[in-house]
């Protein structure tokens, strides 16, 4: 149970669906309630698939490219910490993680559940590296079941948050969403720094 709660909390902090609320509201402003629900559901399904694939095949990618787990953890820790600082300083926007070409493409199509919502806004490098690092230390059958259940729970929470995005936006307002995002940002920074510290200590012990 402790492992489940740890991974669930870590993934939720890194994915930060609350911070995606204003982005979701902006992108689906002209959608009907049914269309918004469909996009929210598809986004959560896409996030689940992306994270599960990352969890199970990530280690093979590391082996193929000759990347050590400590290098991944440090890189992931830097990315996670940077994401946390962005949330803490309110440096997220409607185009977070999207270049101009992708942003223009979004305006010309209806399907936004995969890109940009699922990836890169939710399932980004931080969450993917977190899962790969987790697999290195926890890869028994029980650990795998716990990981999949944690990812499934997070995907469910994402669906709930996005389904309630327009309601939350009206109730909390911009200041409320920013306040929550800053709290999540602080936790995300702590997770990233912990990854860097653990990896550095591991390297020092190996010398």
> The pTM is what?
0.74
31 in Cβ contact with 117 (< 8 Å): no
pLDDT computed for residue 23 by the predictor: 77
Using CA atoms, how far residue 189 sits from 11, 165, 182, 196, in Å, is 13, 25, 10, 11
DSSP sequence for 9-23: HHHHHHH-TGGGHHH
Please state, in angstroms and rounded to a whole number, the distance separating the CA atoms of residues 82 and 85.
5
Average pLDDT, the chain: 82
Q: Domain ranges for the chain, please list them.
A: 2-201
Q: What is the mean pLDDT of residues 139-152?
A: 93
Q: What is the mean pLDDT of residues 15-25?
A: 83
Question: Where is mean pLDDT largest: 18-32, 46-60, 83-97?
Answer: 46-60
């Amino acid at each position: 149970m402790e492992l489940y709660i740890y991974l669930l909390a870590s993934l939720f902090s890194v994915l930060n669906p609350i911070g995606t609320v204003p982005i979701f509201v902006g992108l689906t402003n002209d959608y009907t309630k049914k269309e918004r629900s469909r996009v929210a559901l598809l986004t959560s399904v896409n996030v689940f698939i992306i994270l599960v694939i990352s969890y199970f095949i990530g280690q093979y990618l590391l082996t193929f490219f000759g990347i050590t787990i400590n290098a991944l953890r440090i890189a992931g820790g830097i990315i996670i910490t940077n994401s946390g600082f962005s949330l803490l300083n309110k440096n997220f926007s409607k185009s977070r993680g999207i270049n101009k070409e992708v942003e223009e493409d979004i305006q010309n199509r209806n399907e936004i559940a995969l890109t940009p919502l699922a990836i890169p806004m939710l399932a980004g490098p931080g969450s993917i590296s977190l899962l790969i690092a987790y697999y290195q230390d926890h890869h028994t059958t029980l650990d795998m079941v716990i990981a999949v259940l944690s990812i499934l729970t997070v995907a469910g929470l994402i669906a709930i948050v996005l389904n309630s995005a327009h309601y939350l936006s009206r109730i909390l307002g911009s200041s409320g969403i920013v306040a929550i995002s800053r709290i999540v940002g602080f936790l995300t920074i702590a997770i990233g720094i912990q990854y860097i510290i653990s990896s550095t200590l591991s390297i020092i012990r190996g010398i």
